[in-house]
Amino acid sequence: MSLTARHLLLLGGTSDIGRAVAKHYADNGWQVTLAARDVEAASRNAADINTRQPDAGVAVEGLDILETESFVSFLDALHPLPDTVVCVVGMLGDQEQAETDPDHATRIMRTNYEGPALFLDMIAARFVSRGYGMIIGVSSVAGDRGRASNYAYGSAKAGFTAFLSGLRNRLATKNVHVATVKPGFVETRMTAGMDLPGALTAKPKDVAERIAGIEIRPRDVIYVLPVWRLVMFVIRSIPEPIFKKLKL
């Protein structure tokens, strides 16, 4: 452990993408704290990284992103305040269920938008008063345009994307950088069993590399596989009268 080690706070320490991000930062000498509601599962990931990388010292803290009242005490207890926060918390949910079950719809919306946005707003304030910081939010291409198959999730991610862009705009002069990451398809447990097109599908490790790349060259919005920028450009360009009749 070096005195100059930088600190990463990762929200969503049980996720496959989160695990890869934590590993990548730890491999590069960072101190990592995994925040997760399932502390036991996150500890399994922490032990794995610590075994592979004995200097890593990955730690785990409990955090439920839906319990917004807990954020202040969570942040107060963080020592030191991290250099970077990466949020990979998210929930795909079940679109059909969301259409008839408002509780389920609410859960999807709060997990993908409300919780992460409120948390990042609070930590941003602390970064500003300290004088620097890096905020990286993992959103989704699903937020670029609402589709019948997943618009509960997509609309919440759209909200999160807009939040990140607003925050970036506000903090541009405050030495706090805000980046939005849109992974496209990634092979994780969220997509397990889905038939994903190979050329459009990334591995968690790819996402981790792109995210860590932001530390070296700050970027505003990245698509993990560049082809997604084109795909989403095409999807956004379809006029609504035609788009609404497509089965997507």
Partner 1 sequence: MRDLSGWGRYPRTSGPLGMVSDVDDAAVATALLSGVVARGLGRSYGDAAIGRETTLSATGLDRMQSFDPETGILAAEAGVSLAEIIETFLPRGFFPKVVPGTRFVTIGGMIASDVHGKNQHNDGTFGDHVEWIMLALPDHRVLRCSRAENPEIFAATIGGMGLTGTILSAGIQLKRVETGWIRQKTHAARNLDEAIRCLQQTEDATYTVAWIDVLARGKSMGRSLILEGEHETLSDLPWGEIPFPTSKFGRISVPMEMPGWMLNGASIRAFNAGYYLNGARHAGRDRVVTWDAYFFPLDGIGNWNRIYGRRGFVQHQCVIPEGAEHVLFEILDRLSAAGAGSFLAVLKRLAPASGLMSFPMKGLTLALDLPVSPENLTLLTQIDGLVAGAGGRIYLAKDALQSRDTFQAGYPDLDRFCRLRDDIGARGRIASKLSARLGL
Report residue 91 as tokens: 């929930």
Report the C-alpha gap between 3 and 125 in whole angstroms. 25
Report the C-alpha gap between 82 and 17 in whole angstroms. 19
Which entry of ligand NAP, partner 1, none binds 51, CB below 5 to 8 A by partner kind?
A: partner 1
Q: CA–CA distance from 25 to each of 20, 48, 123, 228 (Å)?
A: 9, 14, 20, 25
Question: Which amino acid does the sequence have at 134?
Answer: M
Which entry of ligand NAP, partner 1, none binds 138, CB below 5 to 8 A by partner kind?
A: ligand NAP
Residue 140 touches ligand NAP, criterion: CB under 6 A = yes
The residue with tokens 């500890």 is 43
Residue 1 touches partner 1, criterion: CB under 8 A = no
Nearer to ligand NAP, 64 or 209 (CB): 64
- ∠ CA 200-202-204 to the nearest 5 degrees? 160
Nearer to partner 1, 38 or 67 (CB): 38
Residue 164 touches ligand NAP, criterion: CB under 6 A = no
Which entry of ligand NAP, partner 1, none binds 183, CB below 5 to 8 A by partner kind?
A: ligand NAP
Q: Which of 152, 132, 127 is nearest to 142 (CA)?
A: 152
> Which listed residue (189, 217, 245, 247) binds partner 1 by CB under 8 A?
189
Q: Which one from 25, 113, 153, 223 is the annotated catalytic residue?
A: 153
Shortest CB 216 distance to ligand NAP, Å: 22
Nearer to ligand NAP, 206 or 215 (CB): 206
Q: Which of 184, 168, 169 is nearest to 229 (CA)?
A: 184
> Which listed residue (54, 102, 198, 239) binds partner 1 by CB under 8 A?
54
Query: CB-based contacts of 208: which residues, under 8 Å, 6+ apart?
Result: 17, 20, 21, 23, 24
132 is catalytic: no
Residue 197 touches partner 1, criterion: CB under 8 A = no
CA 79 to chain centre: 22
Query: H or E element: which one contains 32?
Result: strand 31-36
Torsion sign, CA atoms 111, 114, 119, 124? positive
Question: Which amino acid does the sequence have at 24?
Answer: H
Report the C-alpha gap between 58 and 115 in whole angstroms. 24
The binding track of 18-57 with respect to ligand NAP, each residue x by CB under 6 A or -, is: x-----------------xxx--x----------------
Residue 133 touches ligand NAP, criterion: CB under 6 A = no
Residue 124 touches ligand NAP, criterion: CB under 6 A = no
**Which residues here bind ligand NAP, judged by CB under 6 A?**
12, 14-18, 36-38, 41, 64-66, 88-91, 111, 138, 140, 183, 185-186, 188-191
Question: What are the catalytic residues?
Answer: 153
Binding site for partner 1 (CB under 8 A): 41, 44-45, 47-48, 51-52, 54, 189, 192
